[in-house]
Structure formats: structure tokens, C-alpha cells
Structure 1
């Protein structure tokens, strides 16, 4: 049976104001931060390889890493939007090229439940976070670990209306499949290049405002 609507969202930089790997670099690798950020910008390795190295190099026990995770500046309006979506009968799903290790802990900390998470599996190992990515997995991407477009394409088949919120290049193909796109940061010019309309947002307060002003999007199925 087709459900009414689905809200897909990236995590780092979208549901949070700062990527977790930025938190780690700025806290523990300040002397090397310029090079580390340059390597990220110039894509000297895949995002998956880069994040795997950063997360494995944290050098703290599990309790210490939990403290680091709680330094992630989680959008204070995100829970309101998630609750709003769920209250109206929609499903909220996170698609992230980071790791579920910190996303699940953030959601637990803020009392967020009933949210499916598609992300790179992570476990604590050797004073860091190890990403356990399966190259044979259904949604595997050699660049990001997870292929957001494949996930979105599969999930959206069961819904009349799909929203997508994202902020960067890995979100582009998945966002293009949605009926309404909420775009931050680098995703905006990428959508401009595709001549794809979107709702420009700074944070989830803007998402909440849009949903309150456009209640018809929850009833007008476009699939």
C-alpha cells in the first residue's frame, strides 16, 4: 500500500550545523587542519577513505568519543520537524555518508525515535571508530560508502510525496528524485546548474516554517 509522504534527510551539515569530522579535526588535529581540509576539498582520496582514516585516528576511549559526539552542533529545530512529520503520518529517514555510530547516539541523546538510518556501519575499535562497509552491499558506493540515489529510489516507491533535505554533492542525485528539495550550502549551486527548483534553507527552522505554510503538500500526492 502506498503511504502518504516520506522525508529524507542528510545528517552532517544538514541536521547538524557542523560535520562530525570537522569536530574531530578542529579538536585533535589543529596543527594539521589546513592540510586535512585541503585534502578533503581537493579529493585526494575518496570520501569513504578520508573519513575512515579520520575516525580511526581519534585516539580516545569509547566514553571520550561519546563526549566528542555530543559536541556535534545538532540543529535545535530538527526534532520539531521530525516530530511534525511523524505526527502527520509521514516517515522521516536519514541517509548519511558518515556513520550510524554517531547518528544513533545523537538521536538517543535528543530523544528522537522511529527514524530509519541508512549510513556506513561504525563500531568502536582501537580507540577510534571503524567503518564496516560491505562492498557487496545493496547500496554500496566506492566513493561514499552509501549510494544515496539508490536508497532514495528504492524507498520512494512506497510514497506519494517525497521531501529531501541536503547540503552537498553526495546529496545531489537523491535530491533530484524528490518532489520538494530543501537545500543548504553547496547543494544550492549544484541544483541551480541542473535548473532544479528548491527551497533554500539555513536550518530546520526554515523547513518547519515552509511545512506550516504549505500544508497542502501533505495531501496532494504527486506520484
Structure 2
């Protein structure tokens, strides 16, 4: 029997809004100028997130309330159920932090979903990232090397789907057997010549897979 998994980015794919924008809008408006400097290449991704997440200065229960406000793709839960019902695993691979991802999974009753991300924790009013340079999946730029994680997953699974929306997802896309993309990732993959299907939601992915006979044809 073929083993397979559907691997997805979190911010902008499972969630409809990147967590750092919530922080910027509610607690750190100065972060908007940092965002544009980051996009120009003045900061590494992990440096940008570290600065944003360490500028909240709020009690944890208030931060958890903010996390509750993150809107998710309404079709993600039935999609995950469909993956599990067809013998696959659903895996989250994020260059954000597992601090808010695991909390959202709990809030939305999404069990049995492994998370590969930068470890985060609350301390002294802020969210801190515990990035370990000795971790086999360490990346100086992102904190976590998504492509390395995908390569490692190939040792476990015969077939890997991937879904992403932005530049960090262009790297694990190279390891995917079947790639789905949205937003800025579409142009990036097109320029790289990486095969993909453009979608905007998990519902669209379900429709595409149904039309193509997935996952039964794996």
C-alpha cells in the first residue's frame, strides 16, 4: 500500500491572515515599516519575526484571545478529515511558530496533525522563538528549513502533496510529487519552472483531486 501525506504551510493557506499582521495591527504599528524593509532584504525572515513577536508586551491570556481571531480556511477541517479517511496524513510545515499553530489546532478541534515549525513560547509579555542551530532542520534565514523537512518526509512517505502561498514554500515545492500554490507563490513557481496547480482554498484542492481521481490513483 502506498503511504502518502498532504503537507501544508500555515499562514496564508490554513489561516487567512499571517499572524504577524495581527500583531502589527494590534500591538506594534511600527512593524509595518519593518515589513517593507524585510521584503527589500534588509532582514532575514527569522529576524523579522523575532522582532515582531517580541514587541507585543501583553498578558498571555490577551494574546490567546488575539490568536482566536485568526480566521481559518473554512474547508480545512473537512479536507483534513478526507485525508485521514483515505489513509493519508496531514502535516503542517510552517516558518512561523508552533506557539499559535498548536493553539489554533486545539481551538478548532483538529487533532492528529503533526507540526514542523519554529518552537515558540510565551515569556515576559512576548512570544519568543527557540531556534536551535544544531537542529537538523535548522535554517539561518527561516529558522526551519522546509525543504530539508520535505526531504526527510520522503523517507517515510511514498508520495507527498504540498500547498503553499509565499517564497519560503518555493523550496519544499521542489520535493513535492504534487504541488498546489496560491498568491505570490504562483509567480515564483512559474518563473522557476516548478509544476503546480493554482488554487485558492482547500475546497478547490478537494475539487481538483476529485476530478483527477486522487488520492485513489496514488
> What is the TM-score with the length of structure 1 in the denominator?
0.93
Question: 1:3 and 1:56, CA in 2 relative to 1: closer, same or farther beyond 3 A?
Answer: farther
- 2-side partners of 1:178 and 1:53: how far apart? 32
**Deviation above 4 Å: which 4+ runs of structure 1?**
none
- Contact 1:148 1:173 (8 Å CA) reproduced: yes
1:142 and 2:143 matched: no
- Contact 1:12 1:20 (8 Å CA) reproduced: yes
What is the root-mean-square deviation of aligned Cα atoms in Å?
1.4
Q: Residue deviations 1:151-197, cap 9 Å, x none?
A: 00110232222100001111112112112111011111111112222
SS of corresponding position for 2:5: strand
User: Which residue among 57, 60, 69 is the counterpart of 2:58?
Assistant: 60
Structure 2 match to 1:28? 27
- 1-side partners of 2:2 and 2:132: how far apart? 30
- 2-side partners of 1:188 and 1:103: how far apart? 24
- Contact 1:6 1:156 (8 Å CA) reproduced: no
**C-alpha displacement at 1:15, in angstroms?**
0.8
Structure 2 match to 1:73? 71
Structure 1 match to 2:4? 5
- Contact 1:3 1:158 (8 Å CA) reproduced: no
Structure 2 match to 1:99? 97
Structure 1 match to 2:189? 191
- Contact 1:4 1:218 (8 Å CA) reproduced: no
- Contact 1:81 1:204 (8 Å CA) reproduced: yes
Structure 1 match to 2:215? 218
Gaps of 5+ in 1: none
SS of corresponding position for 1:92: strand
1:126 and 2:109 matched: no
Say how many residue pairs are matched: 218
1:19 and 2:24 matched: no
Structure 2 match to 1:204? 202
User: Which residue among 110, 114, 129 is the counterpart of 2:108?
Assistant: 110
Structure 1 match to 2:45? 47
